[in-house]
Structure 1
């Protein structure tokens, strides 16, 4: 072989290695985080069966461990939604991971379709008029217009491209980040939909998982639109029961459920209120769907739900301002960095095909919940392929900590218990009776998270004492000053 040929061969090998290996993440800054971080990206195929076709850049953020002698197993955060940007959540979640970050890298990956990873955002206005926010017809129209815009984006190109944003493919992307970072095993922390993603990662790559924490478990077989009504109803019924059992609340509102029933029976009716987000006065028709959405949103957070008795009573008496302000402002703000297109890409592909096989349970007030909306939205949304094995949860070879809020209106304990039973002996399910949706930042839970992942021994991790969390009381009902009922 001539010298020129040897040089050409060596160059070809180097180029080949360069194509297979990702560039290391580079120093960067992120607003809301004080220290220098590492930002990276990987080129990923939209369709793994055609790696030479459409590709996109998968973005991730690494918060380096503070200790020089760090541990080799980083912590990966899997965001909720579906549709949240993990990187957008980093500033608010890093206090939760502070102790773990002493010796472990914390990694935030923007799942395909979110953040800067081929986003499927709908470019919706930050604030929509009150009437439009609760108008199903307008929501479906906006979604259809969004779909038409998305199919023209480079990382979609055609309607079929929207079918490549499934959880299964996203977890293959996540494993590519693990490999790029050189981690043999990782710890997973999933929140809400992120728990479904974590379970799918563990199904595909069980040997790469050291520990998993699932907060607010949304199993792969949950069929979100079908369960939304009954789960929200259970949380609302618990609110009424808590008020009846609390002397001050029962004295102030002795007929709270009847007041709620009377409010629903009076709808629809015209209302004029100041928009809580803009301050502008708006006149609209207050519908049953708007009232249900207004109570469902604060049920996620018990501290906010404590204001619902006063708001419901006032609305039943014709003063709807507090209920509208409490509920619709929360619902319209949405989750940080939520990608609406990616949300529907996941739900339409993974949940809706199973909706027809299971009758939608009818809740007392919430009826069929979100099922009618999603049925209409998904009727024309391209659906990705989902392997049947996706819907199964097998026995876990490594410890899994499941966290549930007892009054969670979205992912109550019944879903997590089914998963814990399937995961087997190495699963530990902790129910916090008076908590709502999402426990990572609540009370002593960050310490539980640290001790579970940091424990060297698996038995020690699973024997975690969670009494500091399970004993958290429910916030008492808020009684507006000056309105106390006579004793």
Structure 2
């Protein structure tokens, strides 16, 4: 056997022995703990992760007020630290949505934490209602014809039917799927792992989860990273309209100030308003999934979601000027293709819609005394308002929306182009959390900053620093000059191409 292959095989064997030894030690520790009622984590394989990890679960009361009643099983995965002498404070990752499975995301998230994983365990919990933890899943729409996928009314009917089926499940009391209950589950995982303190990393809705964990269990927190801050009082559907409109206006302004974009799209803002005014109208397009021709009703709902999805990622938003101008000329293929961005991707990374609406209907219902939103805010609010009228709502603790002064370092990250959790939310949260919280605003970044450039090194230095002052003083200068991607223009045949073809 070649020497390099022998060394690699030796490393794999050592890693496997380490995992099994860790599982055995966990079993012995848990067996001696009077409060432990669940099996110890065991060696397992998880889709998306190359190596063996540890899988465990905690059994929790569906209704915390009835500990002797129906239970749910909350599953988690531990990616053990590589070092023999690891740190005692693991990193807990809270997924977004609400409604994403953290375990399903582990494979894509793990590279961001590889250096941290040298000395700290990484823990991914499927929040109750997602993944394998009492899942609240609705039927996917992938196999439906294009026109039905973009039919807003049909979508609301599908979710109403899903609600009826979810309520029949053994764990179908949808009032028991709030953020606060889920964070009590997360603390039960912490206790099962024997960690006195943990580091929290949350993305998007996961930042709300992390903030609520801090509110409930402040003594168990060591450091917090908030990527795309979603405060507990943001009233998601209504605020989303305001933030999407601001991001879209910024896109128009940036195009007007960039000579080549302005030259190609001189009436971009007017074309967008024209599309809204002309809706609804039919359009002949090609289904981007199967290439079949279809007739789609271009209404305000489709237009609102067509811009919202790509605005999350500036690289995709770069295609919006071309798509909007094409649609204004009666060619809707590019805009319809972009409209499917949010719903695309593997099934494992999509929202568990039952959990999504259980959280949003309980925690993001607008104040009845507040004026109704206008513009895109009204469009985004409409499906939530219709569905939440019948969706069972969990109770929210009186202090849920309070932001306590943090006694531990907090690093908040925001992108200036983010259409759903822009810097205005992070600024307010950091101010409330106090002097141990720091806000890093990344220019021309969209929704989610952790995967950009040097951010993973920033996270490593923040969490790994032994001294709190050093953690808050980490240098974020490497993120100060991120450019916006230039407006996308498809290649067009020219004389040289025509000559080459001959």
TM-score using structure 2 length: 0.89
Give the CA deviation at 1:327.
2.1
Work out the number of aligned pairs and report it.
464
- Cα distance in structure 1, aligned partners of 2:41 and 2:131: 17
- Cα distance in structure 1, aligned partners of 2:43 and 2:115: 22
Give the CA deviation at 1:139.
1.6
TM-score using structure 1 length: 0.92
In structure 2, the residue matched to 1:104 is: 120
Give the CA deviation at 1:268.
1.7
In structure 2, the residue matched to 1:379 is: 389
Residues 162 and 345, structure 1, Cα contact 8 Å, conserved in 2:
yes
Question: After the TM superposition, which residues 14-413 of structure 1 pair with which residues of structure 2 at under 5 Å, given as runs?
Answer: 20-156=36-172, 161-333=173-345, 336-352=349-365, 354-363=366-375, 366-413=376-423
- Cα distance in structure 1, aligned partners of 2:63 and 2:170: 14
Residues 237 and 377, structure 2, Cα contact 8 Å, conserved in 1:
no
Give the CA deviation at 1:134.
2.9
Unaligned runs of 5+ in 1: 1-13
Give the CA deviation at 1:335.
7.8
Residues 269 and 285, structure 1, Cα contact 8 Å, conserved in 2:
yes
Give the CA deviation at 1:257.
0.9
Give the CA deviation at 1:482.
2.8
Residues 45 and 54, structure 1, Cα contact 8 Å, conserved in 2:
yes
Q: CA RMSD in A?
A: 1.8
CA shift digits 1:281-327 (9 cap, x unpaired): 21122112211211111000000101111111111001110111122
Moved more, 279-288 or 323-332: 323-332
CA shift digits 1:105-147 (9 cap, x unpaired): 0000000100000011113233443322332321221111111
Give the CA deviation at 1:32.
2.1
- Cα distance in structure 1, aligned partners of 2:33 and 2:192: 13
Alpha carbons of structure 1 residues 77 and 148: separation in structure 2 relative to 1, 3 Å: same
Give the CA deviation at 1:150.
0.9
Residue among 474, 477, 483 paired with 1:467: 477
Secondary structure, counterpart of 1:344 in structure 2: helix
In structure 1, the residue matched to 2:24 is: none
Secondary structure, counterpart of 2:485 in structure 1: coil
Alpha carbons of structure 1 residues 148 and 292: separation in structure 2 relative to 1, 3 Å: same
- Cα distance in structure 2, aligned partners of 1:200 and 1:51: 22
Give the CA deviation at 1:15.
9.9
Alpha carbons of structure 1 residues 391 and 483: separation in structure 2 relative to 1, 3 Å: farther
- Cα distance in structure 2, aligned partners of 1:175 and 1:15: 19
Secondary structure, counterpart of 1:47 in structure 2: coil
Alpha carbons of structure 1 residues 197 and 24: separation in structure 2 relative to 1, 3 Å: same
CA shift digits 1:149-205 (9 cap, x unpaired): 11121222xxxx110000010000000000000001000000000000000000000
Give the CA deviation at 1:478.
1.2
- Cα distance in structure 2, aligned partners of 1:123 and 1:69: 46
In structure 1, the residue matched to 2:21 is: none
CA shift digits 1:369-409 (9 cap, x unpaired): 42222111100000111111001101000000000010111
In structure 1, the residue matched to 2:18 is: none
Secondary structure, counterpart of 2:447 in structure 1: coil
Residues 65 and 102, structure 1, Cα contact 8 Å, conserved in 2:
yes
In structure 2, the residue matched to 1:10 is: none
- Cα distance in structure 2, aligned partners of 1:263 and 1:17: 64
Residues 101 and 348, structure 2, Cα contact 8 Å, conserved in 1:
no
Residues 133 and 332, structure 1, Cα contact 8 Å, conserved in 2:
no
Residues 84 and 114, structure 1, Cα contact 8 Å, conserved in 2:
yes
Give the CA deviation at 1:16.
11
Residue among 433, 437, 447 paired with 2:443: 433
In structure 2, the residue matched to 1:442 is: 452
Secondary structure, counterpart of 2:47 in structure 1: coil
